[in-house]
Structure 1
């Protein structure tokens, strides 16, 4: 009798799965027993539509290995597109057990040079895209009384990075969206978690190299395979992950982190209330030792991955 696989009988929708992290998760999901909807718009790094070849190629690779998959070329930034890909999952496989919101684009630039169009486009794909697909999937999962939503956030939003105001805002928004989904849908046994992935992919390949230190950092990132992200994502999609919800993980090569969520660090109280002078003379001196430094992701994750 064949050995049961972790995702036997599950149906998983992975967005942006034509390459990089999404492709690795889709292929590993099929290998773990899931039927997979491979969504990819077939767009350039900045979001310009090209073709659906990448999704179809991933499906062909899955089927060649004996798995089940269908390709989807809808746009996550459009509610109709999200509904169509969820409908394709249920039409093809009868249900939908997990969504991996991985689709993304980059339009980096310093804040004082950023256009409305470049801010809007990135937020539409990352934040609205995660909302659109999750919202469409929620109706199916509520009827099933089960489901798992896995969203890709980033340390660019959780910690900070230069020249990524659009991407950082979207990715921090994704973390808050995930927490709200976890709270609102708990009664239907639907869970929601985030992963901040470190991996070399088409998106990270756009990082600008303007110093020897930056070149060294990029060279380290090239050693981080997208395959390293899949085990955590697929655990969260499996029944074994049923008691994990509302969390933020980071995966960095062979390291898995649980990321903190905003909580009060320190407080001051003054019974008679505050004035500008007392804030200056009493509150700020008491709070200043607990200020969060103006650091970026590389400052926090400063050691070599192992």
Structure 2
């Protein structure tokens, strides 16, 4: 079965190069009309360029349809205008891939508050701005596919990227609420944690790995997660043609008797409280509370 995006309109932020460009090209090849959004700056967020226009030219040369847009994801009103212009031109927006990002890597001791704030502003608030701008339209259409770009740094940590990791795990958390709020409107929201050789990683990955981790190897996961039959609330890692899922899990609650609900009592049970195995993957925050209540009932505490 061929997965098609005929009749769909997609916005890809940060699509002037790297992963975003690869997504935009393949979406267009599969029939989508694509808005190539890119501020065009350097990877630290400074400057401008005509990167988006070059990608539009590539799409047009291949027979696809696309327009360029230089709006900044950090400015909500610019995102609102982007969505309004897209709807006016093509009638709707069916796919949003939040891909725009910058890096300001430093160890936390050397990182300034400004470095921290800007990275969170672009990745987390920028994705929230773009998503908010398109959210009501997708609900009205009863169709929407949204992809957040997280990172292994957000899921698992990485030295020198406290700002990036905080923003990226925040995006996974944003997905986990939006998938619930979008469910009855056929708006599906997923999280992708890509590893790719791009301008963002060119001096991080060695040359051999840089070739192996071509952005095109992430495209299959990204496009499936915004396709008509996409799942929702998935966290998927992708790189070099290898793909995996990641999960936020909880183990079975350990109930301390009233007399042992002390710091010392907790310390004595830390081994059991921190044990892996028999884990579940809650579908919402409420399920954590339900698991705790169930454990209390089983222990005869309520």
> Contact 1:194 / 1:248 at 8 angstroms: preserved in 2?
yes
CA positional deviation for 1:290? 4.5
* CA RMSD in angstroms, aligned pairs only: 1.9
Alpha carbons of 1:289 and 1:238: their partners in 2 closer, same or farther (altered >3 Å)?
Answer: closer
CA positional deviation for 1:5? 6.4
Aligned counterpart, 1:259 = 246
- What SS class does the counterpart of residue 200 from structure 1 fall into? coil
4+ long deviations beyond 6 Å: none
Alpha carbons of 1:237 and 1:288: their partners in 2 closer, same or farther (altered >3 Å)?
Answer: closer
- What SS class does the counterpart of residue 237 from structure 1 fall into? coil
Choose the corresponding residue for 1:136, options 109, 133, 136: 133
Q: For CA contacts below 8 A with separation 6 or more, give which structure has more relative contact order.
A: 1
Aligned counterpart, 2:280 = none
CA positional deviation for 1:219? 3.4
**What is the CA–CA distance in structure 2 between the aligned matches of 1:128 and 1:224, rounded to whole Å?**
27
Aligned counterpart, 1:211 = none
CA-to-partner distance for each residue in 1:144-179, whole Å, 9 max, x for gaps? 111100111101000110010000000000001011
> Contact 1:77 / 1:129 at 8 angstroms: preserved in 2?
yes
Aligned counterpart, 2:212 = 223
CA positional deviation for 1:286? 3.3
Aligned counterpart, 2:256 = 270
**What is the CA–CA distance in structure 1 between the aligned matches of 2:65 and 2:274, rounded to whole Å?**
56
- What SS class does the counterpart of residue 194 from structure 2 fall into? strand
Q: Does 2:32 align with 1:34?
A: yes
Aligned counterpart, 1:45 = 43
**What is the CA–CA distance in structure 1 between the aligned matches of 2:239 and 2:188, rounded to whole Å?**
23
Aligned residues: 276
**What is the CA–CA distance in structure 1 between the aligned matches of 2:242 and 2:271, rounded to whole Å?**
37
Task: Write out aligned runs for 1:1-306 (5 A).
Answer: 6-51=4-49, 53-207=50-204, 215=206, 219-241=208-230, 244-261=231-248, 263-272=249-258, 273-280=260-267, 282-287=268-273, 290=276
- What SS class does the counterpart of residue 66 from structure 1 fall into? coil
